[in-house]
Structure 1
Amino acid sequence: MNNLNQNNGMQKRMLIMTLVVFVFFIAYEFLVLKPQQEARAKQAEVEKQQSQNAAPDVTTTDTSIQGAPTNNNMSNSISSLSSKAVGSSDIITTITTAKNRILIDRLGRVAQVTLLQSIYKDEEGKEIKLFEADQLRPLEVRFANTDINNKAFEVNYTTTAEVVDATKNVQKFTLTQDIDGLVLTKDFTVYPDGHYDLKVKTSQKEQFFITNGFRPNVLADMYADHGVYVKQNDGTMELTSDEKLDKIKSYTGIKFVSNFDRYYATVIYNFDKSLQVSLMPDSEQNPQAFVHAQGEIDFSGYMGPKNFNDLKALNPQLTDVIEYGWFTFIAKPMFTFLQFVHTYVGNWGWTIVILTIIIKLILYPLSYKGMVSMQKLKDLAPKMKEIQTKYKDDKQKQSMHMMELYKKHGANPMGGCLPLLLQIPVFFAIYRVLLNSIELKGAEWILWIHDLAEMDPYYVLPILMGVSMFIQQKITPNTMQDETQKKIFQMLPIIFTFFFLWFPAGLTLYWFTNNLFTIGQQYSINKIFERQRAAKK
């Protein structure tokens, strides 16, 4: 340390920095990302109204996938598809499984997927549909040969089954398209759990591309990532978020490609044969995935919720479809443990409470050291002030005597912040787990909380969280001398309460429970120090 502030103020600045990180993280998403998202949604609506009868513009001049992404001749009937309904005259096959209903249109594409399980409902209590209007459709085929590609969008497919009932048994059917003698077939095998196997081949060895379509657009909010996620053969995961792709990006050796929003995904995967995938930006720099093929290709697919157990049942590697961000290495095992606790508790709300308690117990040694250090610094505050006053003109002696004081009393000016800093990755991991876990959707807790994935409708939890944060602040030793710093800290419970009003109830429950146990820990340590002080008198 070279001066007074570095000696006495480092601990304060570290604590401020930690809290500022939290505030910035929440404020940036609420004040910057959300307005941007709303503005984009309004602009998209305007553009949609201006071009209701126009085909989506997904052209490119890139020669690495020559001609494949050209779509100028796409049928106008598809561009007019509603996100809530699909024109029955355009549908050639309706597939019903135990978990979803899949509509195949006359160009052999997935026009819509409707989730049939009762836990998946929209805000109006209706069945959730994964795709919006005027979006690139899953399983659309495009040819490298421009002439063939243009003709393909003018020729309807034929089907061997208009109705496929796979609710109880595996079913097979075939789609066929005859493009001036070039015959393309899609052989489907559909399973009751909602996933499918698909083999696509052409009668002549033509290069073509099959797309995963644009991601589901059920819940693409400011809190979670959405875009395209790929897993490579070496296990590496790579995310391309919406509005972040400015040029075509190609991969070889891909195990799966997932187009996803917060809770839902469409996935193409093959764990036996590697896939070659290119991502192409649309007009808004959103990624669109195209799987390369030469004559034929086979793979499996899934369109639905990113439910951990459902994905694991298909293939354990598919659980990587669930994206937790930077702290995946902590978040994924944490979710596994959360699942384990839930198997015994049976309620996700109480599971979150128990998980919070367990985490607090594990981190208790760190928290205890930090709290003890803060208490010692509080007790030393008068002596620190004396040294500051006595050696105000000699910074070197001031630093030396400060260090001697700390050493004599076993105080660490950084001791109160380091434990807090080390807990930041844990917090963000829990944040991502609770944010991305569709298992919380529709999960009730107590009387007024009917969905832990949604905000508290009566703001009870955010207010309780703010009150608990205020109490925690009041009983925590504070050695700050600067009045501005004190005022900032006094405002934090209000600021946090404001932002948590719109947070998922499950996340707010975690924070509130964490505050309660921190209050208990701090209170007990305060009592211990009070008895020690009384004994010395």
Structure 2
Amino acid sequence: MRNSTRIQLLALTLILVVMLSGCSSNVYESPIGIEGGWGWLQWTVEQIADFTHWISNSTGGYYFVGLIIVTLLVRTAGWPIYAKSNALTMNMQQAQPELDKLKAKYQGKSDETSQKKMQAETMAIYKKYGINPFGCLLPFLQMPIFIAMYQVVRRIPLSDGMVDGVVVDGIKDYSDLDFSFLWIPNLAEADPYYILPILVGALMFFYQRYSMKKPEYLQNKKYKSEKAQQSEKTMKMMSYFMVIMLVSIAVTNAGIALYWVVGNAYQFLQTFLNRRGNFKKMKQQKDKF
């Protein structure tokens, strides 16, 4: 379940990255206030953009400061979902030996009665370890916010209250912000020295390596099935392809690159702290079952 869930999440992320990279390029080249086919997210985009604008103006008018702060706030708001997903992984690992025995018990029994018994016993194990079968869907709840954040970062620098040089009611105006960042004149443009895209690729690569390596308390030292080995290979291929896709987008827009650098660094820290917390919980629960 753990590997299949991770593959599903990676697949969804890849689809999201591909979609963001070009399928709706007209939206990302338009100021905030024009829906461009994203009406269901328009309100969220405008609220996040206005909040980023307010934070930026409150900290000297520098857009990059507002971008960093809002990115950290959004990631922190999503921490409970991330923590619950990690708790699900830990509980699944504790239940795995019993699930394996159950699978072996009913191996080769395809009649309806046996299948119903197996399903009932599986649910009993889930209940014993506090596992919600739908818990693996929790990370998907964050996807609309990530899409909205991507739109905000791409479109804030383009929002000056005008369309084709004409002032239009309803179009946001954030032109009072300073869009420079250290060596980069404008975060709406590419990083001239490719420093941020390189950081995006490096952080994402090492994060994928770190997150795919099971911590000691989750390692199954008995054996690895052929299916598990194939799942790991699939995850590696998908994660490396995702790194390439992210870098290919980051080289075109320094604002997006900065957003991903901050987000990936925070995610690294988040994973590290959650693993430490899970290790302590695992030690406390050893005698429980």
TM range (shorter): 0.7 to 0.9
Alignment equivalent of 2:44, drawn from 316, 330, 334:
330
Aligned residues of 1:434 and 1:506 also touching (Cα < 8 A): yes
Deviation string 1:7-52 (CA, Å, 9 cap, x unpaired) is: 777634542442232243146x2xxx6xxxxxxxxxxxxxxxxxxx
1:224 and 2:26 are equivalent in the alignment:
yes
Alignment equivalent of 1:361, drawn from 76, 98, 103:
76
Counterpart code for 2:33: D
Q: How far apart in 2 are the matches of 1:475 and 1:413?
A: 26
2:179 match: 443
Aligned residues of 1:10 and 1:414 also touching (Cα < 8 A): no
1:376 and 2:56 are equivalent in the alignment:
no
Aligned residues of 1:18 and 1:420 also touching (Cα < 8 A): no
Q: How far apart in 1 are the matches of 2:118 and 2:235?
A: 24
Residue ranges of structure 1 left out of the alignment (5+ in a row): 1-6, 34-221, 227-261, 264-305, 307-318
Deviation string 1:180-208 (CA, Å, 9 cap, x unpaired) is: xxxxxxxxxxxxxxxxxxxxxxxxxxxxx
Counterpart code for 1:325: W
Q: How far apart in 2 are the matches of 1:383 and 1:472?
A: 31
TM-score (norm 1): 0.41
- Spell out the pairing of 1:394-409 with structure 2 (5 A cutoff): 394=109, 396=115, 397-409=117-129
Aligned residues of 1:356 and 1:514 also touching (Cα < 8 A): yes
1:456 match: 191
Q: How far apart in 1 are the matches of 2:127 and 2:258?
A: 40
1:430 and 2:149 are equivalent in the alignment:
yes
Aligned residues of 2:86 and 2:274 also touching (Cα < 8 A): yes
1:522 and 2:235 are equivalent in the alignment:
no
Counterpart code for 2:81: L
Alignment equivalent of 1:415, drawn from 135, 146, 154:
135
Aligned residues of 2:2 and 2:92 also touching (Cα < 8 A): no
Q: How far apart in 2 are the matches of 1:512 and 1:382?
A: 39
1:18 match: 12
Residue 323 of structure 1 and its aligned partner are, at CA, apart by 5.4
- Spell out the pairing of 1:116-515 with structure 2 (5 A cutoff): 223-225=25-27, 262=29, 320-321=33-34, 325-326=38-39, 327-345=41-59, 346-394=61-109, 396=115, 397-416=117-136, 418-437=137-156, 438=158, 439=174, 443-446=179-182, 448-476=183-211, 481=228, 482-515=231-264
Q: How far apart in 1 are the matches of 2:93 and 2:201?
A: 25
Residue 515 of structure 1 and its aligned partner are, at CA, apart by 1.7
Higher relative contact order (CA 8 A, sep 6+): 2
Please tell me whether Structure 1 or Structure 2 has the larger radius of gyration of its CA atoms.
1
Q: Residues 24, 321 of structure 1: CA spacing in aligned structure 2 closer, same or farther, 3 A cutoff? A: closer
Q: How far apart in 2 are the matches of 1:398 and 1:485?
A: 29
Q: Residues 339, 442 of structure 1: CA spacing in aligned structure 2 closer, same or farther, 3 A cutoff? A: closer
Counterpart code for 1:336: D
Residue 462 of structure 1 and its aligned partner are, at CA, apart by 2.0
Q: How far apart in 2 are the matches of 1:384 and 1:471?
A: 32
Q: Residues 443, 381 of structure 1: CA spacing in aligned structure 2 closer, same or farther, 3 A cutoff? A: same
Q: How far apart in 2 are the matches of 1:487 and 1:428?
A: 24
Cα RMSD (Å) = 3.1
Q: Residues 518, 358 of structure 1: CA spacing in aligned structure 2 closer, same or farther, 3 A cutoff? A: same
Of stretches 460-469 and 520-529 in structure 1, the one that deviates more from structure 2 is: 460-469
Q: How far apart in 2 are the matches of 1:374 and 1:502?
A: 34
TM-score (norm 2): 0.72
Q: Residues 394, 501 of structure 1: CA spacing in aligned structure 2 closer, same or farther, 3 A cutoff? A: same
Counterpart code for 2:179: A
Q: How far apart in 2 are the matches of 1:337 and 1:18?
A: 28
Deviation string 1:210-244 (CA, Å, 9 cap, x unpaired) is: xxxxxxxxxxxx73339xxxxxxxxxxxxxxxxxx
Q: Residues 378, 24 of structure 1: CA spacing in aligned structure 2 closer, same or farther, 3 A cutoff? A: farther
Residue 409 of structure 1 and its aligned partner are, at CA, apart by 0.8
Residue 335 of structure 1 and its aligned partner are, at CA, apart by 0.7
Q: How far apart in 1 are the matches of 2:88 and 2:275?
A: 12
Aligned residues of 1:443 and 1:451 also touching (Cα < 8 A): yes
Residue 425 of structure 1 and its aligned partner are, at CA, apart by 0.8
SS of residue paired to 2:25: coil
Aligned residues of 1:223 and 1:435 also touching (Cα < 8 A): no
Q: Residues 523, 12 of structure 1: CA spacing in aligned structure 2 closer, same or farther, 3 A cutoff? A: closer
- Spell out the pairing of 1:7-156 with structure 2 (5 A cutoff): 11-12=5-6, 14-26=8-20, 29=22
Counterpart code for 1:225: V
Aligned residues of 2:71 and 2:262 also touching (Cα < 8 A): yes
Residue 525 of structure 1 and its aligned partner are, at CA, apart by 1.3
Counterpart code for 1:363: G
Identity of aligned residues (%): 23
Residue ranges of structure 2 left out of the alignment (5+ in a row): 159-173, 219-226
Q: How far apart in 2 are the matches of 1:472 and 1:339?
A: 30
**Higher share in helix:** 2
SS of residue paired to 2:27: coil
